[in-house]
Structures are given as structure tokens and as C-alpha cells.
Structure 1
Amino acid sequence: MAQAIAVARDGKRGRTSTAPTPADGDAQDGDRQFVTALARGLQVLRAFRDAAEMLGNREIAARTGLPKPTVSRLTHTLLTLGYLVHGEDGERYGLGPAVLALSAAFLRQNSFPQMAKPYLQDLATAVQAHVALGVLDGLSSVYVQLWRGQGQRITLSSEVGYRLPLARSAMGMATLAGMDEAQRAPLLARLRRDSGAGWPQLERTFLRCAREIAEHGYCVGVGVWHPDVNAVAAPIHSPGARGAFALNVSGPAFLLTEEVLRGDTGPKLIAAIGRMRALGIVD
């Protein structure tokens, strides 16, 4: 089975991880208000893909592209402020309690994930796949909530905090499609610049996904993020929520075939959104 898929049988889960996705570069040439040192510190925090992950300065430098001496100063500062903690070996770092405090503040401001929880848990169980709520962050969508089907035996190695690139995921395409033109244009400009020769294919994928969302409310991604993982995604809006959100249902390609996604999973996703809309949880 491919790297992206882990199999859980008889209550035992084996998990593998895929190669890390580099943090989104936020360099703002010519912006005199932009604080580069702060941006670099946030890049260090974004290098952690899992709450339990422990990284050394060398690994952080490799993930962020920052010089190792710079990383050493940043990790020292973040350690002092409580955003990082030392591992048992004293050489590696993990995320600290100050990061959790920021996450809690975000969730208090965006309470709809908690209100949506029973509907999305029911959806995950009905389709026996992962259901994730993601929010836009730079050129990625970041999982803020994740549900697995009760009794689900095949799982993907992703958790809350996992990042999916806008350019290579159904969730990313749905996030872009759900924005108004003023919000979307600068992101597409950055994707055009960063993708180079790959832009025509990326543009075709986005236009297809935008059409599917306009017609059906969801878009399908067949092997877009990983050749062995398929997904269906839909933009979602909630009154008072801050950020651009999307829902994603994903699973192994041999189970969630394109036929299943279009004929069963996608309609069930839209039905779940409809039930939440009827109660005013989402717009």
C-alpha cells in the first residue's frame, strides 16, 4: 500500500507519513510594514506537521529553507516564550503550550466546528472515510477538525494541523472556488508564479473544480494530492466565522473510486451540509 495510507485492524493502527510540505513562503518584497523576523518565527512553528512531532534545528532548517544559525536563534526565542518545548534528549523541540492557547482562541472565535461535529461524525461513519474541516492558511488548507468513521478500518496518516496545498488537493480547489474574486485573485497570482510551467494544468483543474461546485456543490479530486488517495470537497461558510473554510472527504482510491465519489460520497457530503444549513450552523 502507498505511503499515504495506514491500515488499522483489530484495534491496532500502523501509520506512515508522507514527505513534509514546505511552509508557505510569505516574503513580501517592498512591503515596509512586513516584519521578516516574525514571519521566520512563524515558519518555524509551521514546520511541525503533528502535535507530537519532535524536530531538531537541522530538520527545521531543511523544512523551512532558513539558515541553520537563524533557526537556532528562532528556536531559542520560541522556547523561551513557551511556543516550543525541549524533547527528552534536550536537542529536539516540540510544540509548546503557548501554541495550544492560540489554537483555543481560534476555536472560540470559530465555534461552528463544535456545532457541526455530530453531523460530520455521522457523515464519516456513513461513508467510512475521513471527513476534515480545513481553513485557508497561506497557500495551504490546514485541518482544524477531523472525523473518522466509527468502525473504520483503513485510515490515512493525517491529523489536526495537517496541511494540504491549495494547488494539489480537492480541499484547496474547493477553498479557492468558495472565495469571491477579490480574495481569490491574489492567491491565483501567487500560484501562477510559483507553479511556472505547471500553471496551465493547474488552471484547468481549478476551472473544472469551480464548474463542479457551481453545478453540484462539490468537486472531485482523483489522485490530485496522492495517486492512491481520492477526495471530494466543498466550500463551507458559517455566520461570523473567520477564514475561508472547506470540507473534505478522503480515503483510499481503491475504495473511494471516482464513481463512488460522484454517485455516493459527494451527494452525502452535500446532504450533511444541507442539514447544518437548515439549523443555521452554516450559510
Structure 2
Amino acid sequence: MAQAVAARAGAITQDSIAQNSAEPEDGDRQFVTALARGLQVLRAFRDAAEMLGNREIAARTGLPKPTVSRLTHTLLSLGYLVHDPEGERYGLGPAVLALSAAFLRQNSFPQMVKPFLQDLATAVQAHVALGLLDGLSSVYVQLWRGQGQRIVLSSEVGYRLPLARSAMGMATLSSLDEAERTALMTRLRRDGADAARLDQTYRHCAAEIAAHGFCVGIGIWHQDINAVAAPIHAPGGRGHFALNISGPAFLLTEEVLRNDTGPKLMETIERMRSLGIVD
């Protein structure tokens, strides 16, 4: 059973074109479409070890294959992509790692919370992820698994959760001011999110966060995976972060999430707040 859940979780894929759009919004004349398309190609890679051909990249981004071929050639020349020995498939290159390292150097917050969230992952024997708002997704910037944890879901740093269909997304939306949230939800609807479902899920989760500090997601992202999530505020307001704890539904039942996992998440956040690590 445990292996079956892990396998199903590993089979879950992101929406092929649910990335940031490579086209300007509202006729923005300053928007550089060629640059946006190049970045969209990099976003097509879902983990650092994945190798993709031009056809697969085109399918995931919605870009024409000839355009993808020119972009991958350029990114390969600049070190943002590498290719396999046959030269037919591409993977992320060292220049991407350099950008990631620069981000982590400039933003020490993920490193500051690390020991607290590793202890939390071990206490709940589940995945604990720190997500950062990026476009229409929350991207994992850190991920912890409990020491001795036996069931592992196939998500890694860099994994993207859709805002409209995840507890982490709902927690992230709740942390925004009204103007930011309204604009983002408009974009989510325009991107294809079911408006009625999105509004109902957000209202329910926002009410839970107001009452308890966290929201519970029962099968929001996938029917076999449950989660609990809470917004978390980095000092200085740099970025919109959220925490989630996720795992197989047969282990993280709604009762467990509400009565044990969620309260432990809030205890950890309060402990970090008392030390000035989070606002």
C-alpha cells in the first residue's frame, strides 16, 4: 500500500503550460518576450536530474518546436543547459546552479529555519516543505523528511505546487494583501482555474487560517495525498512563503492533521517567532 501511494505520487505531473506566461500582460512594451521564452524553457525541467528533448520541452511550454530548438541551442552555449552524449536531450547546466546559489546567499531565511523544520519533519514523520510564491505556483525552496521516515513522496527542491490546487497555495494566497490576492486570483481564473471551486476553497482555507493559523487540505492536490499548510513571514517581508506538511492520506488523515500535525506546525512557527526568526 505504501509503495503504491508513493508510486502514484511520483506519477503526478504539473500542468504542461501552468508556468509563467512567455507573453506580455496588458501590452507591456518593456516586456522582452524572447527572454521570457528562454526562462520558460528552463522552467520546463521539474528536477535537476531530468533530461528532456526539444519535443518534450515544446509540449510542456506550449512553444513551437523550432523556437524551442533555437532556445535550447542558445542556453546550451551559455551553460544553462547541458546535453547527453548523443546530444539529443538536455538537462540543467551549472549556470543554473550558480543562480540558485546566489539566491540562497542573498536569502538566508531558508537556512535559518532549517533545524526547526527538520525537527518538525522527524516529529510528524512526513514531508515538510518551505514554499515561495513564484508566478501561479509555490516553488519548494527547501524540503525536509523525517529521520527514519519510511514513505517518501517524489518531490524535491524546485518542485512547483499550483496555487489553485494545493493547501500551500491557499496559505500563500491568505498571506497577500487584498490587492495582490485579487490580481493573482484573476490570473488564476484566466489561466483556467475553476472560478467557483477556487473561491470556495480559498474562503474555507482562509477561515481556517484565521481561526487556527493553518488550513487542512484533504485531497486538494491529489486524492491520495493530504496536507496541512500555514503562511510564514520572513523578516523584512522578502517574498511570500508558506509551510506545508504532506503525506499519504491513509496516514495523514483529517483527524491527525487537525489534532496533531497542524498544532505541531503552529508550535514550531511560534518557537521560531519567539526567537525572531520569523515575523
Fold shared by both chains (TM-score > 0.5):
yes
Q: What is the aligned partner in structure 2 of residue 278 from structure 1?
A: 274
Matching residue within 86, 92, 101 for 1:95: 92
Question: Deviation of residue 251 (structure 1)?
Answer: 0.2
Q: Matches of residues 169-248 of structure 1 in structure 2 within 5 Å?
A: 169-195=166-192, 198-240=194-236, 242-248=238-244
Partner deviation per Cα, 1:43-80 (whole Å, 9 max, x = no partner):
10000000000000000000001000000000011111
Q: Distance in 2 between matches of 1:149 and 1:268?
A: 14
Moved more, 181-190 or 224-233: 181-190
User: Which stretches in structure 2 are left out of the alignment for 5+ residues?
Assistant: none
Partner deviation per Cα, 1:19-53 (whole Å, 9 max, x = no partner):
23334242224111111111111110000000000
Moved more, 268-277 or 107-116: 107-116
Matching residue within 119, 122, 139 for 1:122: 119
Matching residue within 163, 177, 180 for 2:160: 163
* Structure-1-length-normalised TM-score: 0.93
Q: Is 1:34 aligned to 2:28, yes or no?
A: no
Q: Distance in 2 between matches of 1:109 and 1:5?
A: 37
Q: Matches of residues 10-89 of structure 1 in structure 2 within 5 Å?
A: 16-22=10-16, 23-26=18-21, 27=23, 28-89=25-86
Q: Which amino acid in structure 1 is aligned with residue 215 of structure 2?
A: C
Partner deviation per Cα, 1:119-158 (whole Å, 9 max, x = no partner):
1000000000000000011100000000000000011110
Q: Distance in 1 between matches of 2:10 and 2:199?
A: 31
Q: Which amino acid in structure 2 is aligned with residue 124 of structure 1?
A: A
Partner deviation per Cα, 1:183-222 (whole Å, 9 max, x = no partner):
21210111222336x2111100001111111111111100
Q: Distance in 2 between matches of 1:106 and 1:3?
A: 35
| Cα separation, partners in 2 of 1:3 and 1:21, compared to 1, 3 Å | farther
- SS of structure 2 residue aligned to 1:155: coil
* Structure-2-length-normalised TM-score: 0.95
Q: Which amino acid in structure 1 is aligned with residue 11 of structure 2?
A: S
Q: Distance in 1 between matches of 2:116 and 2:249?
A: 24
Q: Distance in 1 between matches of 2:242 and 2:209?
A: 12
Q: Distance in 2 between matches of 1:3 and 1:134?
A: 26
Q: Distance in 2 between matches of 1:188 and 1:53?
A: 31
| Cα separation, partners in 2 of 1:108 and 1:232, compared to 1, 3 Å | same
C-alpha contact (below 8 Å) 1:85/1:96 kept by paired residues: yes
Question: Deviation of residue 4 (structure 1)?
Answer: 8.4
Q: Is 1:104 aligned to 2:101, yes or no?
A: yes
Partner deviation per Cα, 1:78-129 (whole Å, 9 max, x = no partner):
1111110112321111001111111111111220111111110000000000
Aligned Cα RMSD in Å?
A: 1.8
Q: What is the aligned partner in structure 2 of residue 10 from structure 1?
A: none
- SS of structure 2 residue aligned to 1:20: coil
| Cα separation, partners in 2 of 1:2 and 1:192, compared to 1, 3 Å | farther
Q: Distance in 2 between matches of 1:93 and 1:206?
A: 38
Q: What is the aligned partner in structure 2 of residue 267 from structure 1?
A: 263
C-alpha contact (below 8 Å) 1:20/1:63 kept by paired residues: no
**Total equivalences in the alignment:** 276
| Cα separation, partners in 2 of 1:152 and 1:122, compared to 1, 3 Å | same
- State the identity as a percent: 78
Q: Which amino acid in structure 2 is aligned with residue 74 of structure 1?
A: L
